[in-house]
Structure 1
């Protein structure tokens, strides 16, 4: 039995819930500091998605794998193109409370990730993987935030943007906005996408496709053979990436309440998902 199928019960949740999860994933794909891949892990769909990317033939041989992902896909498109515009306004006017709410949703689901990570048994080395991934991610993301580099966008750099966008799904915790912002590429990249500029879209799509083709099989094999340490490391990535985006320096009472509310909502969402376990 493929180990990736342990999360199939999460695909039994109602379509509207999976659509809502897709909305949040789409938002996470474009919002600064947030990774859509993190939310894929949190919602328990990361492994099915990676399996599908690593084995495209499953589109024909296993429709039961990809059909439950359709509401997530459509929700992701809506979140990326539509709701993200609304939320970007909220982030503009109320940045700290908005980010705190989003971060709280993720933190509230960390217990569920730990439960999944230990579902096949755990070893002390698995926790070593978790804390190693946590520390490396913290150092990487804070280093990128502190860097101040200016780059003139061109075909090569938009190709690089596509690589970063794909990595934000394949390597949860690495937000493509966090990677691009220090290089001055985030705003021109989104501007080019929103205005459908071929000089932006074509190289970025090529970079994303090559990254998916080269890395998805590696990640899929890792989960098949080393599930527990891989999932513990993934949890460390998610935790570190979430803590980094919390604006501790701008924390007001309202932002703190939004963070607490997000944690509670995320925890309840995880409990709701768990009801569909078989």
Structure 2
């Protein structure tokens, strides 16, 4: 015998909230999906990441990184978190600066990048005071007030929830500690911006195709740079996460910016 049903009992009539979305380059994807998509990019490029950095920046990334180290204020015996540290350029430098009594943690969410970094540092003879941790920036697996300095270099733009990540970084910093964010940003000169856009979307993927056999990953990297907050927006975000005395330095006319904030 047929019985009438209450519409509220019919699952076809139940509405479900939309899954939270974010951007993966210029595409809109679910937040849960982005992490895997980014992982696929870096699994693909990890083996030739350092080579591509040199090719695509014409070696200038080394100047940006030296400036960042000079601004870090890191001293012997301190603890440093090299977050999204990838192939370990900063970890190698900070390992020498902090010395045997100091501590450097090279952390990256991507296993392939972390493996390349571990092998690179061991080949350089960097042992003893460097640890390797696979970690998500949004939920860092460290105790409160663990580090004197955190640096995240060309990694924040790939994080799904940047606000959550900044709050997590703030938590694990010691009072008096500082965060340095080195990241591609917005050129401050209009002619340079146009040239940079052409280079990013026309040249960069072609080089990726030739060297890594992966144009799509480098197309994503170009798009992710455009979707990243500009200098003043990121400064505001850092302040909202609790950081004080936040400032930034435009490098190469704003193609890259170094943001620095303190925990007091």
Is TM-score (shorter-chain normalized) higher than 0.5?
Answer: no
TM range (shorter): under 0.3
* Rg (Cα) greater in structure: 2
Structure with a larger share of its residues in strand: 2
User: With CA pairs under 8 Å and 6+ residues apart, which has the higher RCO, 1 or 2?
Assistant: 1
Give the TM-score normalised by the residue count of structure 2: 0.26
TM norm structure 1: 0.25
